[in-house]
Amino acid sequence: MPALIIGSGYGGAVAALRLTQAGIDTHIVEMGQSWTTPGSDGKIFCNMLNPDGRSFWLRTQTDQPVGYFLGSPANKSISKYTGALDSESFAATRVYQGRGVGGGSLVNGGMAVTPKRAYFEEVLPSVNSNEMYSTYFPRANTGLGVNNIDQAWFETTDCYQYARVSRKRANDAGFATTFVPNVYDFDYMKQEAANQVPRSALASEVIYGNNYGKKSLDKTYLAAAAATGKLTISALHTVTSVASASGGGYTVEMVQIDTSGNTVTQKTVTADRVFFAAGSVGTSKLLVSMRAQGKLSNLPSAVGTGWGNNGNVMVARAGLDLTGALQSGMPAMGIDNWADTNGPVFAEIAPFPAGTETWINLYLAITKNPNRAAFSFNSTTGKVDLSWKASQTQPSIDAAKRVFDAINSKAGTVYRSDLFGVNKTWGDDFVYHPLGGCVLNQATDNYGRLPGYDGLYVVDGSLIPGSIGVNPFVTITALAERNMEKIIATDLQ
Ligand code: FDA
């Protein structure tokens, strides 16, 4: 086959659209399922209040990011199923990732943030930022279907009470706040609030998928790619090996599983070109394993390095502000303290959609944490380890603490210490924004080509060196647009 893409998240979806539009028959191999069939309740995805097997990837118990309430474990038993959200454990961190056709777009908060230009230039100095900000960021925003909230509606609707009170407390303490674009259709959300359509964002649906309203990749890039007639998707297929084929091209081995995770069959195909789009963790794991096992032994030593968690740390405040029983699961606002050179912070004002008043103000802080980690193949276990240590999260906590100490002090509020463990204030042992592992212009050339292997490319979040200062999918998409344009023009004509 001419082109095989491993994974169907942002990088994979952009690659699929641009390859198929160029007339190239393209095959996506995706380990998760195609989320098109409703369950017995008539819904494709389950909500956060009543998680079932659809919530998590092959687990018998949920592993919620906020795993405790009032100090007691809040996780529930579920049936083992190929659910939408994976929490993948390494020694000192858990990495949350979407599983299914659409990757992370199925489970994320939809926050579509273009990074600050100066920081983008600092992080990716080899990329022409004029081109990015004039061409590829706008192209990505259009392709993703990004829209902005009606600010007058935001000020009055019950479902953003939580964001308004967090904004007030931040502003009172001297911090700026900003509206954040989203790929959730805000017009649909307005109709939800008016009880005119079935509820999704207003029905505690987010991290296990949204049944309505969200423009996930299966509705945007992947739908457009499928419309060319040149796209094939093999869902519930996990790529396990990529090696140079003797007659040219690459031999790709994969395992097909059923929805309980049992192996159905193993398959081997040959592809002229392989695009790695399995996400920061998935792509890094595959490439590091292939190098160690001698299947792609000439990959550079930089492959597997430069991984970071985008400075992620979660925290919650407790006070007497009413945050609302009805909360939109789609964040629409952030606290922007990135200009503070003592410790930049961009904090998403996150919902806590419990369906009842909780007085909880929740935040996902993105900080400028300089620490990085590396993936390595463990020949004893046959698995890939990630060297991230718990202590490496400390700079993120320090930066976030300066902001939230100040907010608490001004508001007379305190941290909640019952949500991430017993007497544990910081949600510092998990990540929503894994980045790096196959960094642009280090592990690859300046367009994602893997050196020494004609026809192997990396197109996903592993290209971004560990930090981007905002929620990352717009950057991943725009960089994929830039790189695919170059690759199609120069390698595929
Ligand atoms: P992505 O992870 O999207 O896709 C990789 C795909 O490859 C997956 O579908 C996976 O199943 C598949 N795969 C992996 N290994 C494979 C193998 N060996 N064989 C076959 N398939 C394989 N970002 C943002 O900008 N705004 C937001 O609001 C949020 N919110 C958020 C909430 C939550 C709960 C999470 C978990 C994440 C976010 N994010 C986010 C992060 C965002 O979703 C993430 O950065 C992108 O999805 C990463 O895009 P990629 O294309 O790199 O990989």
Q: Closest residue (by CA) to atom 38 of ligand 1?
A: 108
The CB-based long-range contact list for 298-303 (8 Å cut-off, 24+ gap) reads 298/452, 298/453, 299/443, 299/450, 299/452, 299/453, 300/442, 300/443, 300/451, 300/452, 302/438, 302/439, 302/442, 302/443, 303/437, 303/438, 303/443, 303/450
Q: Closest residue (by CA) to atom 41 of ligand 1?
A: 433
SS3 label, residue 65: coil
pLDDT at 427: 98
Ligand 1 mutation target, pool 473, 474, 475, 477, most atoms within 8 A of CB: 473
**DSSP H or E run through 409:** helix 394-411
Does the complex come out with an ipTM higher than 0.90? yes
Return d(Cα 380, Cα 12) in angstroms, integer.
31
Please give the order of strands across the beta sheet that includes 85-89: 85-89, 94-98, 430-431
- Please give the full DSSP string across 291-359, using - where no structure is assigned: HHTTSSTT--TTTT--BB-TT-EEEEEE-S----SS--SS--EEEEETT-TTS-EEEEEE----SS---
Radius of gyration of the chain (CA): 22
Note down pLDDT in tens along the chain; length 493 residues: 999 999 999 999 999 999 999 999 999 999 999 999 999 999 999 999 999 999 999 999 999 999 998 888 999 999 999 999 999 999 999 999 999 999 999 999 999 999 999 999 999 999 999 999 999 999 999 999 999 999 999 999 999 999 999 999 999 999 999 999 999 999 999 999 999 999 999 999 999 999 999 999 999 999 999 999 999 999 999 999 999 999 999 999 999 999 999 999 999 999 999 999 999 999 999 999 999 999 999 999 999 999 999 999 999 999 899 999 999 999 999 999 999 999 999 999 999 999 999 999 999 999 999 999 999 999 999 999 999 999 999 999 999 999 999 999 999 999 999 999 999 999 999 999 999 999 999 999 999 999 999 999 999 999 999 999 999 999 999 999 999 999 999 999 7
Q: Closest residue (by CA) to atom 40 of ligand 1?
A: 108
| Distances in whole angstroms, Cα of residue 454 to Cα of each of 246, 272, 295 | 14, 9, 15
Query: Do 94 and 88 contact (CB within 8 A), yes or no?
Result: yes
Ligand 1 atom closest to Cα of residue 13: 51
Return d(Cα 3, Cα 484) in angstroms, integer.
13
Would you say the CB of residue 434 lies under 6 angstroms from ligand 1? no
Catalytic positions are 348, 433
pLDDT at 252: 98
Distance 482 CA to ligand 1 centre (A): 19
Closest CA to 436 of 245, 282, 242, 244: 282
Would you say the CB of residue 364 lies under 6 angstroms from ligand 1? no
Distance 157 CA to ligand 1 centre (A): 30
Distance 422 CA to ligand 1 centre (A): 29
Ligand 1 atom closest to Cα of residue 65: 34
SS3 label, residue 257: strand
Torsion angle in degrees (nearest 10) through CA of 53, 59, 60, 65? -90
| pTM of the entire predicted model | 0.99
β-pair partners for 376: 385
Q: Closest residue (by CA) to atom 16 of ligand 1?
A: 278
Would you say the CB of residue 104 lies under 6 angstroms from ligand 1? yes
Closest CA to 450 of 23, 140, 6: 6
